Chains A and B, each alone.
Chain A
Amino acid sequence: MSFVARLLRREDLHSLAAPYALDALERAERRRFETHLSTCEVCAAEVRALTEDAVRLAWSTAAPPPAALRERVLSAVRTTPQESAGVPARARAPQLPPHVWGNQAPPRGRSVRRPLFVPFATATAAAALVVASLFAVQANEARDDLAAQRARASEIANVLGAPDARASTGEDAKGRRIGVVASASEGRAVVTLSGYGEPPGGRVRQLWLMRPGAQPRSLGLFDGDTPLIASGLDTSSTSLAVTVEPGGGSPQPTSQPIVQLALKSVGFGE
């Protein structure tokens, strides 16, 4: 093959980075491209970046799996041997998915642009969060208006004490948490965040109610670790989301959610 032909072929292969990241190559072509990737660091880096972009398309498709799947997978795991266990991970070739991340480590901090937030129901953790927040309420009494704080504490107690109060918590990839205790009959929820710190530059964290086919509705702004009491929830409410907004909040979200929590496990979204 002539030099020019080789160059052209290389260029041609290089243009397959995006289709490869989207899994849009036929099998044979995929293999050829992967062979090329192992020798082309520029392509590998590009494929890494494009693959992260493609994965963003996946994040929005999360759906609860059938309950029976869990038991089937977990019992299969008990009897399924693992491949080459015991050998340190770095000693093995990254074969799966093949060459997706090329031959060099990505720059630090690049791998997770936005943590995927996966809700799960652990009542005890959520309750612990709420209790911790109640302490925060009491500790703040000196600073704020006592009567308002008492009213808030009593509202929280009402939600917690409702006969159908249920708790759920979610944790993102960085271990930051959102906790909710909600009562469907009261249409109210107590929502707490932990581990998020204060948003920089005078920005605020705003809580949104998500309903199918409707615009997000603001449920208020968080003030530090103080729990936020959300009211006016109806059974069509499917999830809560928190975004970082300019000071004073926004009429509609202007950024992606930093966390999100499905409400189904606490009696909504039916």
Chain B
Amino acid sequence: MDADELLVLVAGGDQKAFEDLYGLVSGPVYGLVRRVVRDPAQSEEVAQEVLLELWRSAARFDPRRGSALSWVLTLAHRRAVDRVRSARAAGEREQREALRSGQPAFDHVAEEVEAGLEREWVRRCLERLTALQRQSVTLAYYDGYTYREVAERLSLPLGTVKTRMRDGLTQLRKCLGGVA
């Protein structure tokens, strides 16, 4: 049974279906949250909130509007970004990063377990973007910066950043959407 069907059962209160759904989405949800939030303990907390939110709010999923996996990952990304922004605002992130320096970056450890070729493919497609397109997209999506913050970090006008984000996403679609 796929995630779309499971989510419909979960909406009806089916706990067994939720267990199956957990098996399907917990890896992608945790991986994405961890990519954005970075801190393992906080990532686990956010992933837990997201997974519970799936249970509580499954009834809001409407299969006519898109796939369940997109819905789940969009929700996870939204929650991860909200968390990383409030942490950043509190200045915790800088402190944690200072503490963590010298340890291997997360990217080289747990991330390599799965997702090999898909990751490789996304990486190659990102490499084909112009530097500004790539930075605009990844600073926003993987690091949780707002487009205003991205503009500031890249010393670009706001309008340029918005355009680069859009062009970057459209180029990615062409590169990733090719052969399946």
User: Does A associate with B in a complex?
Assistant: yes
Q: Which of A2-10, A190-198, A249-257 contacts B (4 or more CB under 8 A)?
A: A249-257
Q: Quick one: closest B residue to A65, CB to CB? A: B30
Tell me which residues across on chain B come within 8 A of A18, comparing CB atoms: 162, 165-166, 168-169
How many angstroms between the C-alpha atoms of A97 and B166 in the bound complex? 20
Whether the Cβ atoms of B13 and A85 lie closer than 8 Å is yes
* Contact in complex: A61, B121 (CB < 8 Å): no
**Are A96's CB and B75's CB within 8 A?**
yes
Which residues on B sit within 8 Å (CB–CB) of A92? 59-60, 62
Expressed in whole angstroms, the minimum distance between the Cβ of B14 and any Cβ of chain A is: 10
Interface magnitude class on chain B: 35 or more
- The A interface, classified by DSSP as helix, strand, loop or mixed, is loop
A113 to B77, CA, bound (A): 19
Query: Which residues of chain A come closer than 8 Å to B166, judged between CB atoms?
Result: 15, 17-18, 50
Most chain A CB within a 10 A radius of its CB, from B8, B13, B23, B145: B23
Contact residues of B between 125 and 180, Cβ < 8 Å to A? 137-138, 140-142, 144-148, 150, 159, 161-163, 165-166, 168-170, 172-173, 176-180
User: Which single residue of chain A is at the shortest CB-CB distance from B138?
Assistant: A57
- Chain A nearest CB, measured from B105 CB (Å): 14
Chain B contact residues: over half helix, strand or loop, or mixed?
A: helix
Interface bin, chain A: 35 or more
CB neighbours (8 Å) of A216 from chain B are 116-117, 120
Partner of B11, one of A26, A80, A82, A120: A82
Are A256 and B121 touching (Cβ within 8 A)?
yes
The contact sample of 24 A-B pairs, CB cut-off 8 A, is A15-B159, A15-B163, A22-B141, A22-B147, A52-B70, A55-B73, A60-B115, A62-B32, A63-B34, A64-B27, A64-B30, A70-B26, A85-B59, A94-B62, A97-B78, A100-B66, A112-B70, A117-B118, A211-B116, A212-B112, A255-B178, A257-B117, A260-B118, A262-B113
